[in-house]
Amino acid sequence: MERDPAFFAAPRPKKDGLVPPPKKRKTVHKVEEITFDKDARTEYLTGFHKRKQARIKAAKAQAEEEARLERIRLRKQIREERAKNLEEHIQTVHKLLHEAERAGTDDKSSEKKPDEEWDGISEDEVAEEPALDLEEEYIDEDRYTTVTVEAVSVDRDGIHKPRTLRDEEDSETAKNKKKKDAAEEVAQQEADKKSKRNYPEKKKKRKFTYESRHDRNVTERKQRAKKAKRS
């Protein structure tokens, strides 16, 4: 019976009798000595609380900085809103004044006779200028400034704020109140004087003191001398 060569594997080649050379290993330098920094080790072991406090402090500083920036942002927003509202208010006032001026001009032109000559603007026709009273805020980083602009009057006494009817009423009320308080105080003093009784002044008693031995001897000598003169 013949064998099929396909069923058998090829024989392995024979190895040579020579020993393969040994593999070269990497030369590793041995650590001769390991030293520790005692100060660094002590600082690490004893510095847990210190590092925790430092983290808390840094977090607080960051929170304060964020709050400061938020305040600046809010102030800027408020300033912009106020400026916008002021601008809208000024435009509305100008519009109303313009409409009122046009309406007044139309009425006067209709009432005016054609043959009548124009004599100019009278004092009654001059509109009273509105009181100047503005307030602006300026914010720059940590600085916050408020600027107030007010109308003033100049006369011989100097510069002062223009008085209004309300100020005069308040001043008159304050004067009347002051006079009333003074009158009440005088009446109270008079009532206190009447209520007090007039007692006669007591005479002060002379303080009694004992004479010293020397004073007694002097007094006795004087008395003896007087008796001797009489006899």
Whether 68 is in a domain gets the answer yes
Please tell me the predicted confidence (pLDDT) of residue 116. Answer: 54
Q: How many CB atoms lie within 10 A of CB 76?
A: 13
The secondary structure of residue 151, as a DSSP letter, is: -
Whether 76 is in a domain gets the answer yes
Domain assignment of residue 50, given as a range: 34-102
Whether 164 is in a domain gets the answer no
Contacts of 75 (CB under 8 A, 6+ apart): 137, 139, 144
Whether 11 is in a domain gets the answer no
- Residue-wise pLDDT tens digits, 150-176: 666 666 666 666 666 667 777 778 888
Whether 168 is in a domain gets the answer no
Whether 49 is in a domain gets the answer yes
- From residue 71, alpha-carbon distances to 15, 59, 75, 140 in Å are 88, 18, 6, 11
Please tell me the predicted confidence (pLDDT) of residue 127. Answer: 47
- Total domains in the chain come to 1
